[in-house]
Amino acid sequence: MSDIPGGPMENRPVHFIWILDVSYSMMGEKIGQLNYAIREAIPEMQSVAHDNPAAQLLLRVLTFSSTANWHIANPTPVESFTWQDVQVDGGTNLGDALYAVARELETPPMPQRALKPVLALVSDGQPLDEWRDGLRAIDATPWGKKAVRVAIGIGADADRGVLQEFLANPELQVLDANSPKQLAAAIRWASTAAVKAASQPVAGGTPGGAKQLAPAYAPPALDDDDDDDVW
Amino acid sequence: MSVPQPDNPAQPWDTRHHSVQGPAKARNQDWSDVEYTPDGALLLAVADGHGSAAHPLSHLGARYAVDVFKLCAAQFATRARAAGDGAGGGLRRLWADAHDRMPRELVRIWQDWVVDRHTPADGEEHRTGPALLRAHGTTLIGAVLTEGLFVAWQLGDGDLMVVHPDGTVAQPLTPEQAELGDETESMCSRQAWDLVRVHWAPISDPARLPRLVTLSTDGLSNSFAARDGFIRFVRELDQRINTEGLAAVGDALPGWLGRAGSYSGDDTTAVVASLKRPAPAPMETED
């Protein structure tokens, strides 16, 4: 008797959404290094996915400048994901982007049966719109509240306060990327550790009052950069 | 695993339970057990330690939860028997007992065991109080089947499934809205006794006893593409026990759980209690 009773079996998806600042302030080396870092991180994401066969890693990319645009709109299995460079354009309307993400975190289109989504925000500037409204829209969705969030601030002008509010957890830290080397390390970490964290069970309502535990995916201490090329 | 059961009319259930470690997991953080009390009550329990870096001792927490349940449930079964023998009002008091006393005892004794039995390993992070409880975080599902009464308790995720005499499948402790992702309520949660869900089912007529009761960790139900697929699993499990017998189903169970774990990525554990039934008809063969 080997045939298992019941309906078909399937692993659960992890929806990973990159939310990338492509405003004019990213022009030049920053956008080039961002494209390079994400392209280089894809094989590591594929490796993490291979090591977690119970999770089906699906990637999407949203860019924001004067408006938010889905650069890669369809949830794409990491195995078949190829990076297409993003281009700079316009201002820093983060709120539009967060609204767009919030719409995708409703159920549907998000399935009820899934692992926690990952939201990875990368920005080098200060939002020009009512970004808190967009953040509230994410927090109002069931999956938005559960999402694993990571934030990377590029260069000295990035508004760390905004990124910290996006994280919605004082125990989480914004990753500072003040050089190409640090950006590459931050992207690599966000691409892999956050995916692992999304598939780890946690106890809700734990002693101490926090609904969710301190994350087990503490960001790495990025080396001080000895490059001359510091943003 | 099975509990040896002579053909004793006071023990109308046959049982099997098994657990399979999840792929790529360092250790199995589930625990389960089945036990008949001397006066014939059947106790079933399964616990799912949360695992992950935030709960490094949850394999112990799960084991404590199952053992604490057996301790409390055996005492509850004794009180249930006394209530059944007594004058009017006994069942009403027992209902309050099941809904109030049992959850509090389960959580309190589990917490005491976690604190009292903790011996830090060399180099282990020093933890006390809530941090120590959190390190042991686990879910728990337990059931008592005794004369005239079926009661079950659940804290956190996992599944209690019941197949009624007419073959319908019920999931009496499943919340209307399941937790999203892998977040769950826990024995380590604040005021965890308030989070315990209770199934209370007096059974005055033995003909209305459930045919099948299963307790399982979420590693099993999470492996199915849809909830209906898991409900179908329970229904077909019952049908196969009818046609092929519990022994054959019990032999196949480890393989099924292992297959489920390859999809859910989790430790996968099931406890099966099947009302004793006629042996399946032998397969006809052609000469």
Q: What is the CATH number of the domain that holds B79?
A: 3.60.40.10
Domain residue limits, chain A: 12-198
- With respect to residue B131, please indicate whether it lies within any of the assigned structural domains: yes
In this complex, which of A8, A199, A214 lies closest to B182 when CB atoms are compared? Answer: A199
- In this predicted model, what pLDDT tens digit does every residue of B88-147 receive, in sequence order? 678 899 999 999 999 999 999 999 999 999 988 878 888 889 999 999 999 999 999 999
How far does B30 lie from chain A, in Å, by closest CA? 13
Min mean pLDDT across A46-60, A126-140, B96-110, B222-236 is at A46-60
Predicted local distance difference test score (pLDDT) of residue A207:
43
Predicted local distance difference test score (pLDDT) of residue A216:
46
CA of residue B150 relative to chain centroid, distance: 13
Q: A217, A171 in Cβ contact below 8 A? A: no
Predicted local distance difference test score (pLDDT) of residue B241:
97
Closest CA to A93 of A62, A126, A118, A124: A126
Number of domains, chain B = 1
Q: A39, A83 in Cβ contact below 8 A? A: yes
Is it true that the peptide bond before A109 is cis, omega within 30 degrees of 0?
A: yes
Please indicate whether, in this complex, the C-beta atoms of A54 and B137 are within 8 angstroms of each other. no
- In this predicted model, what pLDDT tens digit does every residue of A140-171 receive, in sequence order? 999 999 999 999 999 999 999 999 999 999 88
> Which of chain A's residues have a Cβ under 8 Å away from the Cβ of B130?
206-208
Write phi, then psi, for B163 (nearest 5 degrees).
-105, 120
- Structural domain of B247: 13-119+126-275
Predicted local distance difference test score (pLDDT) of residue A64:
97
For residue A96, pLDDT over 90 is answered with: yes
> Which of chain B's residues have a Cβ under 8 Å away from the Cβ of A208?
130, 134, 190
Q: What is the ipTM of this complex?
A: 0.89
Partnered with residue B184 across adjacent β-strands are A203
B100 contacts: CB under 8 Å, gap ≥ 6? none
Q: pLDDT grade, residue B85 (50/70/90)? A: low
SS (H, E, C) B205-246: CHHHCCCEEEEECHHHHCCECCHHHHHHHHHHHHHHHHHHCH
In this complex, which of A142, A200, A214 lies closest to B182 when CB atoms are compared? Answer: A200
What mean pLDDT comes out for the span B246-268?
A: 95
> Which of chain B's residues have a Cβ under 8 Å away from the Cβ of A213?
54, 134
Predicted local distance difference test score (pLDDT) of residue A213:
36
Predicted local distance difference test score (pLDDT) of residue A210:
30
In this complex, which of A6, A12, A213 lies closest to B236 when CB atoms are compared? Answer: A6
Partnered with residue B169 across adjacent β-strands are B163
- In this predicted model, what pLDDT tens digit does every residue of B240-249 receive, in sequence order? 999 999 999 9
Predicted local distance difference test score (pLDDT) of residue A211:
32
- In this predicted model, what pLDDT tens digit does every residue of A125-137 receive, in sequence order? 999 999 999 999 9
In this complex, which of A5, A8, A142 lies closest to B240 when CB atoms are compared? Answer: A5
Residue B66, Ramachandran bin (φ over 0: left; ψ between -120 and 50: alpha; else beta): alpha
Which structure tokens are listed for B37? 């009390």
- With respect to residue B90, please indicate whether it lies within any of the assigned structural domains: yes
> Which of chain A's residues have a Cβ under 8 Å away from the Cβ of B181?
114-116, 143, 146, 198
- With respect to residue B236, please indicate whether it lies within any of the assigned structural domains: yes
Q: B284, B24 in Cβ contact below 8 A? A: no
For residue B287, pLDDT over 70 is answered with: no
Measured CA to CA, the distance from residue B103 to residue B197 in angstroms comes to 9
Find which of B20, B21, B52 to mutate to test the A interface (most A CBs within 10 Å of its CB).
B52
Write phi, then psi, for B32 (nearest 5 degrees).
-150, 160
Q: pLDDT grade, residue B24 (50/70/90)? A: confident
Query: How many residues are listed for chain A in this entry?
Result: 231
Chain B touched by A218 (CB under 8 Å) = no
Chain B touched by A116 (CB under 8 Å) = yes
Measured CA to CA, the distance from residue B156 to residue B217 in angstroms comes to 10
- With respect to residue B285, please indicate whether it lies within any of the assigned structural domains: no
Please indicate whether, in this complex, the C-beta atoms of A54 and B264 are within 8 angstroms of each other. yes
How far does B131 lie from chain A, in Å, by closest CA? 8
User: Which amino acid is located at A45 in the chain?
Assistant: M
Predicted local distance difference test score (pLDDT) of residue B89:
74
> Which of chain A's residues have a Cβ under 8 Å away from the Cβ of B248?
1
- In this predicted model, what pLDDT tens digit does every residue of B167-193 receive, in sequence order? 999 999 999 877 788 789 999 999 999
Please indicate whether, in this complex, the C-beta atoms of B252 and A116 are within 8 angstroms of each other. no
Is it true that the peptide bond before A108 is cis, omega within 30 degrees of 0?
A: yes
- Which residues 46-105 on chain A approach chain B with CB closer than 8 angstroms? 51-55
In sequence order, what E strands does B99-211 have? Answer: 140-146, 149-155, 159-163, 169-170, 183-184, 197-202
For residue B199, pLDDT over 80 is answered with: yes
Measured CA to CA, the distance from residue B76 to residue B68 in angstroms comes to 12
Measured CA to CA, the distance from residue A121 to residue B167 in angstroms comes to 51
Min mean pLDDT across A6-10, B125-129, B228-232, B233-237 is at B125-129
Average pLDDT, chain A: 88
Q: pLDDT grade, residue A203 (50/70/90)? A: low
Q: Does 3.40.50.300 match the CATH number of domain A12-198? A: no
Average pLDDT, chain B: 92
Residue B129, Ramachandran bin (φ over 0: left; ψ between -120 and 50: alpha; else beta): left
For residue A195, pLDDT over 50 is answered with: yes
Predicted local distance difference test score (pLDDT) of residue B285:
57
pTM of the predicted protein model: 0.87
Chain B touched by A108 (CB under 8 Å) = no
In sequence order, what E strands does B75-181 have? Answer: 140-146, 149-155, 159-163, 169-170
